[in-house]
Amino acid sequence: MTTLGETVQMRGRPAEAALSWVRSSGWILGLLVFLALLFVFTLFIQPTYGVRGIQGLAISVLPLALAAVGQAIVVISGGIDLSIGSMMALTSVVAARFMAEQPDLSLVVVLAVLLLGLLLGLINGVLVVTTRVPDIVVTLAMLFVWSGFALVVLPTPGGSAAPWLRDLFRGEFLNEWIPRALVALLVVVGVIWLPIRRSRLGLSLYAVGSNSLAAYRSGVSIRQTKVLAYTLTGLFAALAGLTLTASTGIGTPVPGPYTLLSVAAVVLGGVSLAGGRGGVLGPIIGVIILSQLRTIMTFMRLDPNLAVVAQGAILIGVVMAGSLMALRRMRQ
């Protein structure tokens, strides 16, 4: 480790910068390499996998990717949101029901749903901060509450999505190899997260997550930062719920497995559950990897139940590897 550092110092600045970038985002590079290997393997066992496969992958991945970004934000700030799946269910059924009732006002409905997401996240955050109850307990309880409201809005699956919303995520963009869903994902994340990441708030999120006492002594308002983190997570949950309605065409009041999978993707994406470490790109790649693993298992005609086992095993394995690395770092 030290010899490497010395050789780096002797070289010129560009090489040094490149090396430090590789080192700091080594996890993401590793994930990308793993993903590329997965695609090669997919082509190997299913040579017809191509444009259609990529398109399907992008659409199916979109809701979970947005949920994972939301989860990543709150985990970076040192919390965790177990209610994300039921927030998605609630926003999704609100969108589906009111778009079916008021087809002309679908744009208003979309905006209202995004506001609703902000509100749900705000309530989560305020509860976490004011009750001083651990995040896990509060969001676990809110998981009940939001899924109850989802059942009130729409007792059985139903409603519909506006055609323009459905088309927004279907098909390709410019080139047939670039799915629209992927572009939408990158645009949404880029427009919302990147400015925040660069701002004072972004810095506060990381500061509070890595050492809240130090952040407090440096003049960062912990309560405000936490509330904002949960609010942002609510917004991303609403976006995920909207894309869920758009891709399935209906709203389902029962939460899917998104909470669990979003935590898995966040961990796989290199975000430390202790907070303060990681970004949103890793979790997005993590979601794609999880989904592609599933596709591969389908192609190999494996028992889908074994796919569930594999997901759990991957989750555990990745976290174990991550904590082993952290333990090693501590010993050095």
Query: Contact residues for other proteins (CB under 8 A)?
Result: 80, 127, 130-134, 136-138, 140-152, 155, 260, 263-264, 267, 273, 303, 305-313, 315-316, 319-320, 323-324, 326-327
Residue 109 beta carbon to other proteins: minimum distance, rounded to whole angstroms: 21
For the chain, what is the radius of gyration of the CA atoms?
21
The helix/strand count (H/E) of the chain reads as 15, 2
274 DSSP 8-state letter: T
- Between 145 and 168, name the residue whose CB sits nearer to other proteins: 145
Amino acid at residue number 196: I
Residue 133 beta carbon to other proteins: minimum distance, rounded to whole angstroms: 4
Residue 140 beta carbon to other proteins: minimum distance, rounded to whole angstroms: 6
Question: What are the tokens at 140?
Answer: 């676990």
Give the 3-state secondary structure of residue 130: helix
The CA-atom distances, in angstroms, between 309 and each of 34, 45, 117, 318, 332 are 20, 21, 32, 14, 35
Give the closest residue to 319 by CA, choosing from 266, 262, 255.
266
Residue 145 beta carbon to other proteins: minimum distance, rounded to whole angstroms: 4
- Between 139 and 243, name the residue whose CB sits nearer to other proteins: 139
User: What is the three-state SS of 58-112?
Assistant: HHHHHHHHHHHHHHHHHHHCCCCCCCHHHHHHHHHHHHHHHHHHCHHHHHHHHHH
- Between 8 and 260, name the residue whose CB sits nearer to other proteins: 260
Residue 121 beta carbon to other proteins: minimum distance, rounded to whole angstroms: 15
Residue 47 beta carbon to other proteins: minimum distance, rounded to whole angstroms: 29
Count other Cβ atoms within 10 Å, centred on residue 316.
Answer: 12
Residue 144 beta carbon to other proteins: minimum distance, rounded to whole angstroms: 3
Contact 278, 285 (CB under 8 A): no
Give the closest residue to 255 by CA, choosing from 67, 128, 62.
67
How far apart are the C-alpha atoms of 168 and 160, rounded to whole Å? 15
